[in-house]
Homo-oligomer: A and B are copies of this chain.
Amino acid sequence: MRALPLDAQAVASLDRTVHEPARLAVVACLAVVDEADFVFLQSQTGMTGGNLSSHVKKLEKAGFLTIRKEFVGAKPCTTLALTEAGRDAFKSYLTALRTLLRVMDGAGL
């Protein structure tokens, strides 16, 4: 059987921390706006608060974003931003996607 132009192992081992759709949405948002507050992200992604909370926590645990809690007037407000590591991981992820898409372009898909 001939060799494929596709690195299937690379695809199969994509980093799940950013690959997970919910987190990918969060990271993509933060990549374009640099920082955003919890409520804004919730509205953009359409996620429930609890869901967003747990994903944010996981991203923080991975060292991919920072959580800043402060009060704006009287209300609490959590602001999120990517770390350098988070941005790098996202860039690597995008590179992997581009590689895959290039192969598929070549195959007429």
Contact B21 A6 (CB under 8 A): no
Given A1-B36, A97-B101: A8 touches B29 (CB 8 Å cut-off): yes
Assess whether A85 is interfacial by the CB under 8 Å rule. no
How many copies of this protein are present in the complex? 2
Main secondary structure of the interface of A (DSSP, over half): helix
* Count class of interface residues, chain A: 35 or more
| Chain A residues within CB distance 8 Å of chain B | 1, 4-6, 8-9, 11-14, 16, 19, 21-22, 24-26, 28-29, 31-33, 36, 40-41, 44-47, 90-91, 94, 97-98, 100-101, 103-104, 107, 109
5 A-B contact pairs sorted by A residue (CB < 8 Å)? A4-B33, A4-B44, A8-B28, A9-B46, A16-B21
